């Protein structure tokens, strides 16, 4: 039954700032079209457990990591991208579960940080890639995290490069709106230790946040959920004051159980956080960065490459040491 406008306005005014939002770019709600979150059957933790059944660490990694819903990342390694996203979302749809996908292939990716450098060969190549990404999803329900770090990683970029990146992001959003009507897309907004809420609100807006469902926080980082919630609410305060709207946000809780010690690249002593769920201070708490996967050749992952699964790091993260 449709509620009256007066009832709807009253309900929205009672929501916390993080959820009192402008209308979504999509009418459909993929969380109501599915029954829970999809567990990636080919996650790095699952593959490692299957390949090392006699390892003493395998039971803990299997119980705590391999069966927890988490995002799958897509990039140049994914092959024909429309086929890859279509197969993944199709399998999730067959199970009536909501898949979370990460699009990670923007031109000049991680140009300032460097550990995850790469991406598409040109802005036009990226436009083609992301259009095929969205086309693979099509009308099936999904959530997409769009290009982690891309709006926070401005430190070494000139104005022309920044505008170029914003154009790629807004173009990507247009493709999802056109081809994937049952997908919620979140623009990445960094983390509480990177960019001020005022600056991030401006960057999000200039990259086309109005076209997106929301924004994401803490991807591949360690800040506590409460810190991210406070930061997300501050970003929304800036959006409301400057542009007249707010958006929901999600938080990556995969590795924030012990909070941050100020290091972002494979710090020791971190712990897995709250498993993927709806609510929890944000629209969703999600495992976006897979626990145990390296941030790069640094910290306790010295000698590894970004994305490489490190079983000892995963094992210690389960117990927080």
The 10s digit of each residue's pLDDT in 111-137 is 787 677 789 999 999 999 999 999 999
d(CA 212, CA 256): 26
For residue 6, the tally of other CB atoms under 10 A from its CB is 8
CA angle 174, 70, 45 (to 5 degrees): 135
* Residue whose structure tokens are 């990226």: 126
Q: Could you read off the pLDDT of 273-309 as tens digits, one per residue?
A: 999 999 999 999 999 999 999 999 999 999 999 889 9
Are 68 and 38 contacting, i.e. CB atoms less than 8 angstroms apart? no
Mean pLDDT of the chain: 92
Identify the active-site residue in 153, 188, 252, 295.
295
d(CA 214, CA 187): 6
Q: Is 40 designated active site? A: no
For residue 78, the tally of other CB atoms under 10 A from its CB is 18
Asked if the model's pLDDT at residue 182 lies above 80, the reply is: yes
**DSSP annotation of 143:** E
Tokens of 172: 């990507």
Are 305 and 46 contacting, i.e. CB atoms less than 8 angstroms apart? no
Asked if the model's pLDDT at residue 265 lies above 80, the reply is: yes
Residues 82-113 as b/e (b if ≥16 CB within 10 A, e otherwise) read bebbbebbeebbeeebbbbbbbbbbbbbbbeb
Identify the active-site residue in 93, 149, 153, 188.
149
3-state secondary structure of 194: coil
CA angle 86, 92, 97 (to 5 degrees): 145
d(CA 33, CA 96): 8
Asked if the model's pLDDT at residue 102 lies above 70, the reply is: yes
**pLDDT bracket for residue 12 (50, 70, 90):** very low
Asked if the model's pLDDT at residue 244 lies above 70, the reply is: yes
The stretch 255-260 carries a mean pLDDT of 98
Least-confidence region, from 4-13, 170-179, 235-244, 282-291: 4-13
Q: Is 153 designated active site? A: no
Asked if the model's pLDDT at residue 81 lies above 70, the reply is: yes
d(CA 131, CA 120): 13
Are 309 and 45 contacting, i.e. CB atoms less than 8 angstroms apart? yes
The stretch 181-185 carries a mean pLDDT of 98
Q: Is 188 designated active site? A: no
User: What pTM did the predictor assign?
Assistant: 0.90
Question: What domains sit in the chain, N to C, each tagged with a CATH number?
Answer: 29-319 (3.20.20.40)
**DSSP annotation of 41:** T
Identify the active-site residue in 110, 153, 188, 252.
110
Tokens of 187: 């623009």
Q: Could you read off the pLDDT of 199-242 as tens digits, one per residue?
A: 999 999 999 999 999 999 999 999 999 999 999 999 999 999 99
């Amino acid at each position: 039954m449709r509620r009256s406008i007066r009832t709807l306005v009253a309900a929205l005014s009672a929501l916390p700032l993080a959820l009192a939002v402008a209308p979504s770019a999509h009418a459909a709600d993929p969380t109501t079209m599915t029954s829970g979150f999809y567990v990636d059957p080919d996650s790095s933790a699952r593959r490692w457990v299957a390949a090392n059944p006699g390892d003493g660490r395998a039971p803990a990694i299997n119980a705590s990591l391999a069966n927890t819903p988490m995002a799958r990342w897509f990039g140049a390694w994914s092959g024909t991208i429309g086929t890859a996203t279509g197969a993944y979302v199709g399998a999730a749809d067959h199970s009536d579960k909501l898949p979370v996908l990460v699009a990670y292939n923007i031109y000049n990716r991680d140009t300032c940080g460097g550990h995850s450098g790469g991406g598409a060969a040109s802005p036009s190549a990226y436009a083609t890639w992301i259009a095929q990404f969205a086309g693979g999803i099509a009308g099936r329900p999904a959530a997409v995290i769009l290009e982690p770090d891309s709006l926070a990683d401005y430190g070494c970029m000139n104005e022309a490069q920044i505008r170029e990146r914003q154009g790629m992001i807004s173009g990507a959003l247009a493709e999802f709106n056109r081809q994937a009507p049952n997908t919620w897309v979140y623009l990445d907004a960094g983390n509480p230790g990177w960019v001020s809420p005022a600056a991030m609100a401006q960057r999000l807006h200039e990259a086309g946040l109005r076209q997106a469902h929301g924004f994401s926080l803490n991807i591949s980082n360690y800040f506590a959920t409460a810190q991210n919630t406070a930061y997300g609410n501050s970003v929304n305060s800036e959006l409301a004051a400057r542009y007249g709207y707010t958006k929901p946000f999600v938080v990556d809780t995969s590795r924030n159980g012990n909070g941050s010690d100020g290091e972002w690249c494979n710090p020791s002593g971190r712990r897995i956080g709250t498993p993927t769920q709806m609510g929890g201070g944000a629209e969703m708490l999600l495992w976006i960065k897979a626990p145990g996967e390296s941030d790069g050749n640094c910290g306790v992952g010295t000698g590894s490459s970004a994305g490489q699964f490190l079983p000892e790091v995963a094992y210690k993260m389960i117990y927080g040491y």
